[in-house]
Structure 1
Amino acid sequence: MDAGNHSVVSEFFLMGLASSWEIQILLFLIFTIFYVASMLGNLLIVLTIISDHHLHSPLYFLLANLSFIDTGVSSIATPKMIYDLFRKYKVISLKGCITQMFFIHTVGGAEMWTIGLIHSVVQLAFVVNLPFCGANKMDSFYCDFPRFIKLACIDTYSLQFLIMANSGFISMGTFFILIVSYIFILVTVRKHSSGGLAKALSTLSAHITVVVFFFGPCIIVYVWPFPNLSIDKFLAIFYVIITPFLNPIIYTFRNKEMKMAMRRLFDKVLCFRKSP
């Protein structure tokens, strides 16, 4: 395609999840509840761990880090998606689109900061200078690399394959590393304590549920054999909204020490409000 015969694209139109007004209202209510609950739950966990010295240990530091990451994952795309439900023209600038893609990949892989950062930098290096001079409609509620690349004015087949392979390899590799780690933990616990196996299995099954909810949709997107059927934007809901919502419930609200620490935090707040 000859870029000189087209105007330069400076913004993109997001098609969103639905066009029906009734469905958009339903999605607005559901996504708003999930987003608010996710933000409040994760911020409460971070505040509780910071304020309670009983929780100043590596385990709870990792939980606080996870909750902080989840607030970032939720805040990158969800507020705009909720806002766009009532907009006729869902627009995002070229710079805003690139920025959103960078933070989604970086924060989304932040459980392994180095991998997430390298993944984002490598992908951005390929797409940041792509020319856009024609189509600017993206069938999604946020900017993602595969759809973004397809709108370029040049042949990007090789680039699409490279980025899909890169993303798929990282997603599947990280997923299997986590599963192998959980199996190793179970085997170790079984060797040292038969009584602790049931407790460890209960805890890890909850963790595996979150991992499957996050990485499952990612893997399906990259191995889906029917490119004409747009399921990726619906699967993205799992790791953009649902997983950050589930993490506080599964990782911490089932933890007795966390619940006791939250009670102490609430007692401190009540005492502070009652004091003159």
Structure 2
Amino acid sequence: MEIHNNVTEFIFMGLWGNRYIELLLFFFFLLCYLAVLMGNFIILLTITCSHLIEQPMYYFLCHLSLMDVCYTSTVVPRLIRDLAAARKNISYGACMIQLFTVHFLGGVEIFILVCMALDRYVAIVKPLHYMVIMNRKNCNLLIAMAWLLGFWHSIALLLMVLSLPFCGPNQINHYFCDVKPLLKLVCKDIHVVSILVIANQGMAVVSIFLVLVSSYILILYNLRARSSAGRRKALSTCSSHIMVVVLFFVPCIYIYVLPAGSENKDKEMSVFYTVIAPMLNPLIYTLRNMEMKLAMRKTWSQLSHSESQ
């Protein structure tokens, strides 16, 4: 069947209609983006330049920080530009590329969070077999699987959207190209497509979230046998992971489980996982982690010492 597509570009309606509020948001998101870059690059530098890179937990954290930088960079720079611009336009091709990259990198990040939960589960539930199960080869395999699953998720979504006709209105009630606001512009019945989107994204996000919650419940259950010092250390690490999972998954569940036609706060909720979570992740993982703090001090003292020579 031939696809009738008369739309060559889309116009973002943005986060807010008020021009003065948008200028304030311009400075807010600019600061947030700089914080995302600085915080995650500090984590990347600290882990890669210290002994922490040998530990699976920090190896996965290194990949999570890289994903946070890449994922945020697909959305926030354009958002910052649009907040300062009079006309918030994006070509059809650029919109499809953004849709693919957002879901690809977001999918990879979700599966890296699953890898981190698996790492903590093995460390606490099967400590004697930890180094055998979570060796570097298996860690690399898990990362490769995260990239592969993220790719298949996003390519399936992209192919579905490319098959839809856009023939009239081109105003997207959002600040980036996402599947639900795009579905509202399709000039045919989207009932079946909406169900496919909920099945592809909504149920997948809910299922992964439930798996993560179950794994952390099992971890907490198995901590009863540990000493008080061991419990404190494990709880400190796991609580950081749980905070990150909640910050990322709860807004995703809210957005992708509800049908496309419903009037909800999609674009406001999207800010949590596109900007706020990547900005807070470095703080969550460093402020509650003494090992990370010590590694940061050592790395920065070595760097400053080498510069002074």
The two structures have a TM-score, normalised by structure 2, of 0.82
In structure 2, which of residues 181, 205, 209 is the aligned counterpart of residue 147 of structure 1? 181
Corresponding position of 1:221? 255
Q: Answer whether contact 1:3 1:153 (CA < 8 A) is retained.
A: no
Corresponding position of 1:47? 45
How far 1:270 moved relative to its partner? 1.7
Q: Answer whether contact 2:104 2:154 (CA < 8 A) is retained.
A: yes
Matched, 1:233 2:267: yes
In structure 2, which of residues 20, 23, 26 is the aligned counterpart of residue 25 of structure 1? 23
Q: Deviations over 1:73-119 (max 9, x none)?
A: 21110110011001111011111111111111111121312432222
Q: Answer whether contact 1:50 1:56 (CA < 8 A) is retained.
A: no
Q: Answer whether contact 1:3 1:133 (CA < 8 A) is retained.
A: no
- Separation in structure 2 between the aligned mates of residue 228 and residue 179 of structure 1, nearest angstrom: 28
Q: Aligned partner of 1:242: which letter? A: I
Q: Secondary structure at the match of 1:152?
A: coil
Q: CA 1:233–1:38 in 2, change beyond 3 Å: closer, same or farther?
A: same
Unaligned runs of 5+ in 2: 112-145
Q: Secondary structure at the match of 2:288?
A: coil
Matched, 1:164 2:198: yes
- Separation in structure 2 between the aligned mates of residue 101 and residue 226 of structure 1, nearest angstrom: 16
- Separation in structure 2 between the aligned mates of residue 70 and residue 47 of structure 1, nearest angstrom: 14
How far 1:192 moved relative to its partner? 3.7
Greater Cα shift, 116-125 or 97-106: 116-125
Corresponding position of 2:123? none
- Separation in structure 1 between the aligned mates of residue 266 and residue 12 of structure 2, nearest angstrom: 14
Greater Cα shift, 137-146 or 100-109: 100-109
Matched, 1:188 2:186: no
How far 1:194 moved relative to its partner? 4.7
Q: Answer whether contact 1:101 1:144 (CA < 8 A) is retained.
A: yes
In structure 2, which of residues 6, 12, 15 is the aligned counterpart of residue 14 of structure 1? 12
Corresponding position of 1:209? 243
Q: Aligned partner of 2:298: which letter? A: R
- Separation in structure 1 between the aligned mates of residue 260 and residue 57 of structure 2, nearest angstrom: 42
- The percentage of counterpart residues that share the same residue type is 41
Q: Aligned partner of 2:51: which letter? A: H
Unaligned runs of 5+ in 1: none
- Separation in structure 1 between the aligned mates of residue 204 and residue 262 of structure 2, nearest angstrom: 24
- Separation in structure 2 between the aligned mates of residue 60 and residue 225 of structure 1, nearest angstrom: 37
Q: Answer whether contact 2:181 2:260 (CA < 8 A) is retained.
A: no
Q: Aligned partner of 1:106: which letter? A: F
Q: Deviations over 1:205-258 (max 9, x none)?
A: 332222111111111123447945340000000000000011101123432222
The two structures have a TM-score, normalised by structure 1, of 0.91
Q: Secondary structure at the match of 2:74?
A: helix
Q: Answer whether contact 1:146 1:164 (CA < 8 A) is retained.
A: no
Q: Secondary structure at the match of 1:85?
A: helix
Q: Aligned partner of 2:167: which letter? A: C
Mapping 1:50-89, distance limit 5 Å: 50-89=48-87
Corresponding position of 1:251? 285
Q: CA 1:54–1:130 in 2, change beyond 3 Å: closer, same or farther?
A: closer
Residue-pair matches, total = 272
Q: CA 1:230–1:90 in 2, change beyond 3 Å: closer, same or farther?
A: farther
- Separation in structure 1 between the aligned mates of residue 212 and residue 265 of structure 2, nearest angstrom: 25
- Separation in structure 2 between the aligned mates of residue 184 and residue 94 of structure 1, nearest angstrom: 46
Q: Aligned partner of 1:80: which letter? A: R
Q: CA 1:100–1:126 in 2, change beyond 3 Å: closer, same or farther?
A: same
Q: Aligned partner of 2:15: which letter? A: L
